[in-house]
Structure 1
Amino acid sequence: MNGNQTFLMSASRVGDDTLLAQIIEMVNSASRSKAPIQKMTDRVSRIFVPIVIAMAILTFIVWMIYGQESKLAFALANALAVLIVACPCALGLATPMSVMVGIGKGAKNGILIKNAEALEKLDKVNVLVTDKTGTITEGRPSLEDVQSTSTNTHDELLILAASVNANSSHPLAEAVVKKAKELNLSLLEADKFNTVNGKGVVGHIHNEKILLGNEALLLDDGIAITDQIKARVASEQEKGRTVSYLAKGNELLGYLVIADKIKDTAKQAIHYLMDHGVDVIMLTGDNAKTAKAVADELGIKHFKAQALPEDKLLEIKKLQQEGKVVAMAGDGINDAPALAQADIGIAMGTGTDVAIESSEVTLLKGDLLGVVKAKVLSHKLVRNIKQNLLFAFLYNVLGIPIAAGILYPTFGILLSPMLAAAAMSLSSLSVILNSLRLNVVNIDVK
């Protein structure tokens, strides 16, 4: 809140580029999209309509032949009643109404769905592949320790690490830069910056090459790590912490210990999914010991460490070839190829733009519990659509014979065109009311 002062504000995104505008467009586009089950309804309608017309003609002919008095009037009235009562309005509304309400329900719960197909397919997902940093963990890591293996001091190592990381948007890099700023350390100018996917970052300071990342990054440059240092690092990794080695030229200077807290709801979400037949697999670029510590804490049986972007992509392709319906949850640039390949890509709203663009579902809260809610919503949506289709078909199965006059010989009952119109309206109304029930269903998990 500004008082009497003036200030200049720069808007980085305006109009259609703002997050709010993108959310509105995403929800609108999804509401207009067709679920796969709608295609089946369309095929049924193509057959249903000619059959109804044929039945109306048959009704007219039968009344003209067997009617006793006012044959033409009865034949026309009953044929018209058949056409009116069988109007496929309810059939046409059955899926779109549920989809529109379901997508709105998801949006209210922070689940943005790009298309109806994704919402329906979520119910069939039996494997969830998830990233670790920013997905299972908070994605707000903190620098816990800096250890020197050379003559350099703690501050000197931190300055080098933060100077290189200043060019990176990775959460681990942000933690290092943040710590340096807290200690009021002056950063150095770094150039020739490069991100090595799944390994770390490289930059040049004062014409000397600086490497910051995992063991694989150093091995690529032929930098040796002694067994003693590896043992010290392993003890940190077994606590679930991430360790980044820092090297200058061909010399190992030390390592940084970074901790990233597991999200409070991650364990609850993962256990719920596993209890309901979904296999959870964690793929992370982190080392094996850190990955194992996190997996053990959450009860994840299957995980793969030091996974590069292409490894995540290949793992999802392999699962799909085995006939699995795979959902991928991630938040980073490295996750984008896997998110695009998966049957359902689920991006954390707290992640990168490219991850959100590559996915069908975005969780605004960046919480795995959102995956559970989306799956529960999908299940209830599919059930709601089937109920709507049942209502629509039931009305036609009962209404058409009555409108044709099947009850007249025994009970003397005929369905006039006006009553047929009322019955048709009631069928549509029942579908609409049933769809609106999705607004009040509970998708929270306890």
Structure 2
Amino acid sequence: MLADGFDRAEVLALIAAVEAQSEHPIAEAILRAAEAEGVARHDAQKFTSITGYGVRAEVSGHDVLVGADRLITHEGLDIGALADEERRLAERGRTALYAAIDGRVAAVIAVADPVKRSSAAAIRALHDLGLKVAMITGDKRETAEAIARETGIDHVIAGVLPDGKVAALDDLRGTGQHIAFVGDGINDAPALAHADVGIAIGTGTDVAIESADVVLMSGDLRGVVNALEVSRRTMRNIRQNLFWAFGYNVALIPVAAGLLYPVTGLLLSPVLAAGAMALSSVFVLTNALRLRRVRPAMDDAAKAATAPRMSPLPAE
């Protein structure tokens, strides 16, 4: 939706020039919209990313700001009549951004990030494992709660900056729970590093991937469920191997030391001892190789389901 006195094509062209310098998924959606409408292409100068707020650049002599409402408020600009439109968009689960040109709010932009069918399935699977799911986001509470209702998320923490995500993890950890955090963006990097286990989406930014302990190769959240399943089976396998290795040594080391010789005259030949030791190693290795047969916790057919990418809504 445009403010009075602004042209749609011109505003979209200026916004797209700024977003072309950004790695955020929302930027990709805006660029696709600009390409679809064939708007003029401009180059942006003096690009600045304001963490947790938005981006700023100079385009064709214009000072252009694109970001959340807190960026506009921080700059002391008047949102005016666009505030009501932003609120309606947020209640529909849309991500709403403002664009300001030369110190005037020019437009509110709605970006739809459709919930993947696989995401709701992943959350159900996490619930089946006895886990609670929270969403920590910089989006407005109305947007976050709309998505939470759709997917079955238990707890929502919205409207937070990157440092706020770290504080939210500390609050959740205060209940005595271990925390795994899943994220893909620059703003998620501090929380990924701070969580007990940071899980990065492989399709996300490089800084998020570098900050995480686990990287999922796809953008499917069901990979989180599969990672938990593989981790649990791996730890169970390690405990099994430790048990059998320890029991094996407890049983045979006394025999090899001659403990039974005074009573039974039984000694363990060095050749047999070496063979038994090799057999122990083969047993442990074979047991570990069973992990290669672990199947994904989520159904393969369901995993093949895909969802539309983030896409811009038509402006009014």
TM-score bracket for the superposition, by shorter chain length = 0.7 to 0.9
Q: Using the TM superposition, give the Cα deviation of residue 305 of structure 1 relative to its aligned residue in structure 2, in angstroms.
A: 1.6
Counterpart Cα distance in 2 of 1:201 and 1:400: 68
- 2:84 paired residue among 231, 255, 265: 231
Q: Using the TM superposition, give the Cα deviation of residue 412 of structure 1 relative to its aligned residue in structure 2, in angstroms.
A: 5.5
Q: Which has the higher contact order (CA 8 A, sep 6+)?
A: 1
Counterpart Cα distance in 1 of 2:62 and 2:209: 37
Counterpart Cα distance in 1 of 2:36 and 2:118: 30
| C-alpha spacing 1:148/1:369, structure 2 compared with 1 (3 Å) | same
Alignment partner, residue 288 of structure 1: 141
Q: Using the TM superposition, give the Cα deviation of residue 190 of structure 1 relative to its aligned residue in structure 2, in angstroms.
A: 3.2
Task: Normalising by structure 1, report the TM-score.
Answer: 0.62
1:380-414 Cα offsets, whole Å, 9 max, x none, are 11111111111111112221333345555666644
1:103-128 Cα offsets, whole Å, 9 max, x none, are xxxxxxxxxxxxxxxxxxxxxxxxxx
Instruction: Report if the CA contact (8 A) 1:150-1:254 is conserved.
Output: no
Counterpart Cα distance in 1 of 2:148 and 2:210: 28
Q: Does structure 1 residue 175 correspond to structure 2 residue 11?
A: no
Counterpart Cα distance in 2 of 1:206 and 1:435: 62
Q: Using the TM superposition, give the Cα deviation of residue 194 of structure 1 relative to its aligned residue in structure 2, in angstroms.
A: 1.8
Name stretches of at least 5 consecutive residues in structure 1 with no aligned partner: 1-146
Q: Using the TM superposition, give the Cα deviation of residue 260 of structure 1 relative to its aligned residue in structure 2, in angstroms.
A: 1.4
Instruction: Report if the CA contact (8 A) 2:10-2:39 is conserved.
Output: no
Q: Does structure 1 residue 156 correspond to structure 2 residue 10?
A: yes
1:9-48 Cα offsets, whole Å, 9 max, x none, are xxxxxxxxxxxxxxxxxxxxxxxxxxxxxxxxxxxxxxxx
Q: Does structure 1 residue 326 correspond to structure 2 residue 179?
A: yes
Q: Using the TM superposition, give the Cα deviation of residue 317 of structure 1 relative to its aligned residue in structure 2, in angstroms.
A: 3.4
Counterpart Cα distance in 1 of 2:268 and 2:60: 92
Q: Does structure 1 residue 370 correspond to structure 2 residue 223?
A: yes
**Matched residue SS, 1:224:** coil
Alignment partner, residue 438 of structure 1: 291
| C-alpha spacing 1:165/1:420, structure 2 compared with 1 (3 Å) | closer
Alignment partner, residue 75 of structure 2: 221
Counterpart Cα distance in 1 of 2:31 and 2:174: 42
- 1:263 paired residue among 116, 140, 163: 116
One-letter amino acid of the counterpart of residue 201, structure 1: V
Counterpart Cα distance in 2 of 1:224 and 1:186: 28
Instruction: Report if the CA contact (8 A) 1:194-1:202 is conserved.
Output: yes
Alignment partner, residue 304 of structure 1: 157
Alignment partner, residue 94 of structure 2: 241
| C-alpha spacing 1:404/1:290, structure 2 compared with 1 (3 Å) | same
Over aligned residue pairs, what C-alpha RMSD do you find? Answer: 2.2
Alignment partner, residue 125 of structure 2: 272
Instruction: Report if the CA contact (8 A) 1:388-1:434 is conserved.
Output: yes
**Matched residue SS, 2:64:** strand
| C-alpha spacing 1:424/1:164, structure 2 compared with 1 (3 Å) | closer
Instruction: Report if the CA contact (8 A) 2:49-2:56 is conserved.
Output: yes
Q: Using the TM superposition, give the Cα deviation of residue 324 of structure 1 relative to its aligned residue in structure 2, in angstroms.
A: 2.9
Q: Does structure 1 residue 348 correspond to structure 2 residue 201?
A: yes
| C-alpha spacing 1:249/1:398, structure 2 compared with 1 (3 Å) | same
Alignment partner, residue 111 of structure 1: none
Count of aligned pairs between the two proteins: 299
Counterpart Cα distance in 1 of 2:50 and 2:199: 24
Instruction: Report if the CA contact (8 A) 2:46-2:57 is conserved.
Output: yes
Instruction: Report if the CA contact (8 A) 2:23-2:205 is conserved.
Output: no
Instruction: Report if the CA contact (8 A) 1:285-1:308 is conserved.
Output: yes
Counterpart Cα distance in 2 of 1:189 and 1:434: 59
Counterpart Cα distance in 2 of 1:159 and 1:315: 37
Q: Using the TM superposition, give the Cα deviation of residue 416 of structure 1 relative to its aligned residue in structure 2, in angstroms.
A: 2.7
Q: Does structure 1 residue 316 correspond to structure 2 residue 316?
A: no
Instruction: Report if the CA contact (8 A) 1:329-1:339 is conserved.
Output: yes
Instruction: Report if the CA contact (8 A) 1:188-1:205 is conserved.
Output: yes
One-letter amino acid of the counterpart of residue 251, structure 2: L
**Matched residue SS, 2:117:** coil
Q: Using the TM superposition, give the Cα deviation of residue 206 of structure 1 relative to its aligned residue in structure 2, in angstroms.
A: 4.5
Task: Normalising by structure 2, report the TM-score.
Answer: 0.86
Alignment partner, residue 52 of structure 1: none
1:244-296 Cα offsets, whole Å, 9 max, x none, are 11222342222111111222311111222233232222111211111111111
One-letter amino acid of the counterpart of residue 272, structure 2: L
Q: Whose helix fraction is larger, Structure 1's or Structure 2's? A: 1
Q: Does structure 1 residue 253 correspond to structure 2 residue 106?
A: yes
1:3-402 matched pairs, under 5 angstroms:
147-226=1-80, 229-402=82-255
**Matched residue SS, 1:382:** helix
**Matched residue SS, 1:185:** coil
Paired-residue identity, %: 44
One-letter amino acid of the counterpart of residue 240, structure 2: Q
Instruction: Report if the CA contact (8 A) 1:150-1:252 is conserved.
Output: no
**Matched residue SS, 2:182:** strand
